[in-house]
């Protein structure tokens, strides 16, 4: 068992701007006191980027050379499937690398939850409820778009928690005519307003070519028209009910972490440091149920989509 003092004796080098930091030599030592105020702050004090070293012919070699030059014994990569996919490649090449799952999208195969996700769900739930309140006052349909370019975790869990009338996710197709029909059905039942949650990555069939990032993912948040705006226009036209669109997008990505995320992250970070002291490499620290576990990085960093069972439950409350 590792003692706190041993952890405090480690030298911690913070790498700035994700993989760009190792390509451009942007790193600095982090002292224990630097963490003091960090627990309740969203975002990252190290900054981040969407730089992909695999796009560069000898990117992995540059990263390895930077680690060696900075005398870094082990690297803890914190991120989603892109960041951890690179970490897995680096580990294959012999570097000592561990991963920690951090993505608002919650779409990593090896863990039940990634940190940041439940904070986003909490915040989104409150904002959906607030939109539902103004929707009820004005007897309007409120369409709210949330992040999730190919995974509907935020949309489904926050929508479920806020009692949304309908939720649309990328994994399970919902035809938009049935959305308008459901709004009309609500009217017949005396419900004069509705709140509809749509994930940004749902394909409503109107978008053309979308710019991609270095990992080849569509930058849906940069689209000319949001899913919310498109859907709101469609619903208003089809039903004749006044409809408004709101895109939450990046607003929920900078909120202070909730208690669950703070505790889970602390446990994961502690476990990762202990794992380094035990000589481990090529693993991702994960949460399975209530337990912090280790899973192979290459497997754990793969994508995970919203499961059919969660969707079945969410769907049963639509209308």
Residues that bind ligand F6P (CB under 6 A): 50, 80, 103-105, 147-149, 200, 219-221
d(CA 79, CA 301): 9
| 85 or 282: CB nearest ligand F6P | 85
Q: Do 304 and 107 contact (CB within 8 A), yes or no?
A: yes
Residue 76: partners with Cβ closer than 8 Å, 6 or more residues away: 97, 98, 99, 100, 269, 272, 273, 276
Q: Which of 81, 82, 105, 261 is catalytic?
A: 105
Closest CA to 184 of 175, 193, 171: 193
Name the residue nearer to ligand F6P (CB basis): 100 or 147.
147
Min. distance of Cβ 188 from ligand F6P in angstroms? 36
The verdict on whether 34 is a catalytic residue reads no
Least distance (Å) from ligand F6P to the CB of residue 106? Answer: 10
CB of 157 to ligand F6P, least distance (A): 14
Closest approach of ligand F6P to the CB of residue 247, in Å: 12
Half-sphere exposure of 158 (CA within 13 A, CB side): 37
Asked if residue 265 lies in contact with residue 113, where contact means CB atoms within 8 angstroms, the answer is no
Q: Are 300 and 84 in contact (CB under 8 A)?
A: yes
Nearer to ligand F6P, 86 or 220 (CB): 220
Q: Which is nearer to ligand F6P, 44 or 187 (CB)?
A: 44
Residue whose CB is nearest to ligand F6P in the complex, by number:
147
Q: For residue 50, give the nearest of 221, 256, 212, 254 by alpha carbon.
A: 212
Q: Just list the catalytic residues.
A: 105
């Amino acid at each position: 068992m590792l003692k706190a003092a041993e952890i405090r004796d480690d030298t911690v080098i913070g790498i700035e701007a994700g993989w760009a930091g190792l390509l451009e030599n942007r790193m600095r030592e982090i002292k224990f006191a630097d963490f003091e105020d960090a627990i309740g702050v969203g975002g990252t004090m190290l900054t981040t980027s969407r730089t992909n070293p695999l796009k560069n012919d000898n990117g992995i070699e540059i990263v390895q050379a930077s680690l060696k030059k900075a005398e870094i014994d082990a690297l803890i990569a914190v991120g989603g499937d892109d960041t951890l996919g690179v970490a897995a490649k680096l580990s294959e090449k012999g570097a000592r690398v561990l991963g920690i799952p951090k993505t608002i999208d919650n779409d990593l195969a090896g863990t039940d939850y990634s940190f940041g996700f439940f904070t986003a769900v909490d915040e989104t739930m409150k904002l959906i409820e607030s939109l539902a309140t103004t929707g009820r006052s004005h007897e309007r349909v409120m369409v709210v778009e949330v992040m999730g370019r190919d995974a509907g975790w935020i949309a489904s869990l926050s929508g479920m928690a806020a009692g949304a009338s309908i939720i649309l996710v990328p994994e399970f197709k919902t035809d938009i005519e049935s959305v308008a029909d459901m709004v009309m059905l609500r009217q017949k039942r005396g419900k004069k307003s509705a709140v509809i949650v749509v994930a940004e990555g749902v394909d409503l069939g109107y978008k053309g070519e979308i710019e991609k990032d270095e990992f080849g993912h569509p930058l849906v948040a940069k689209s000319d028209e949001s899913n919310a705006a498109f859907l709101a226009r469609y619903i208003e036209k089809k039903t004749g009910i006044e409809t408004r669109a709101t895109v939450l997008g990046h607003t929920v990505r900078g909120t202070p972490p909730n208690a669950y995320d703070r505790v889970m992250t602390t446990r994961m970070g502690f476990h990762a440091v202990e794992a380094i002291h035990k000589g481990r490499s090529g693993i991702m620290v994960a949460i399975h149920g209530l337990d912090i576990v280790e899973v192979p990085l290459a497997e754990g960093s793969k994508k995970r989509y919203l499961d059919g069972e969660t969707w079945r439950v969410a769907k049963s409350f639509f209308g």
